[in-house]
Amino acid sequence: MRSVRISTTGCPSDYSRGLFPIIAQSLGYQLHWVKPTEADLLILGPFLNGGRKKLSWCPKPLRPTMQSMINLVPARNHEPLRVFHSAENLRHDTVASDYSITFELNITSSNHFRLPYWMEMIDWSHEGVVGNANPRYGHLMKIERLMQPLGERFLEKPKAAAFLSSHIREPRKTLFEAVQKVMPVTGFGAHFNRNIKNHHLSGFLKQELLQEFGFNLCPENGMYPGYYTEKIPEAFFADCLPISWTDENVKVDFNPNAFINLAPMSWCNYTPLAEIINTPKLLEGYSSQALLLKAPSIEPFKNFVKNILEDACS
């Protein structure tokens, strides 16, 4: 078994339980988590504070002395391989790196891989990848279910929407109000319950909560081609009709006939939404649609991770 000294900076606290390290271990690599200065492979995350000045923590009068002491420390024999991995709405070249993993479409570099965040929440056990989890939702999503029609259970559930959010900044506020004009919307999350400190301490599982609603208002955090998170498939998997706000290129991942997209309705103040919600035949049409029209595979990403690890060990 080959070993790799790996570290992260600017990554979510649970990165070590994500797909990249899990796949690395499934490929026969033993990961040793070390400090960034000791790593062979350094994962750079979206929360990297690249603008902070060196020694900003040190009082100005002492900085020359501190820098002199740092200069006496022997330099590393080699720099770590740098991988920028972001599930946030950031471009692949935001941080200088050797490889990048983001959601972006049409990046021609062989050192970039498109991995939209929703793929982190899929059960890949049928392809030999186990260990990833989705604790906020309740469990991983199965591809087989996402390739089936939404189904009649959606039609039997209350004509009401759930909205989970930690804030209600625009465009969420406008979208929330637009849906409220058509049907009841119940808010959950830190914005609606100030006792909730963060996503991981909400006190509920999203999949269970959505069982009581026929709809889930789930706008994306931002709009950019390729930026599609877990929001739409998690709603669908819970037998809800997703009400999203996203750009038209979403069809690269999801069947656009399987959810309501508010973005094209912006020009007319979302007036078509009322007709959709109040027309049984239109809702039946949504219930007959599958979200995934083609089964995705994690194999291409496994090969990409393999190339990175081989490069880091060379």
CA distances from 62 to 53, 54, 67, 281 (A): 15, 13, 9, 73
Mean pLDDT over 238-256 rounds to 98
Determine phi and psi for 57, rounding to 5 degrees.
-75, -15
Once rounded to an integer, what is the mean pLDDT over residues 130-156?
A: 96
Contacts of 152 (CB under 8 A, 6+ apart): 287
- Whether 137 is covered by a domain: the verdict is no
Same domain, 117 and 156: no
- For residue range 103-119, what is the model confidence (pLDDT) as tens digits? 999 999 999 999 999 99
pLDDT band at 71 (very low <50, low <70, confident <90, very high): low
Question: Is 105 a domain residue?
Answer: yes
The answer to whether residues 102 and 208 belong to one domain is no
- Arithmetic mean of pLDDT, 213-239: 97
Task: Tell me the residue range of the domain where 167 lies.
Answer: 143-287
**138 within domain boundaries:** no
Segment 288-307, tens digit of pLDDT: 999 999 999 999 999 999 99
Q: Is the pLDDT of residue 72 over 60?
A: no
In terms of domains, do 76 and 35 share one?
Answer: yes
Dihedral sign for Cα 273, 275, 278, 284, please: negative
Residue 60 domain-assigned?
Answer: yes
Quick one: angle between helices 299-313 and 19-26, nearest 10?
A: 80
Asked if residue 303 and residue 283 are part of one domain, the reply reads no
Distance CA 314, CA 144 (A): 39
pLDDT interval class at 192 (50, 70, 90): confident
115 closest CA partner among 245, 236, 228? 228
Task: Band the pLDDT of 51: cuts 50, 70, 90.
Answer: very low
For 285-289, what is the mean pLDDT?
A: 98
Domain of 63, CATH number, reads 3.40.50.11650
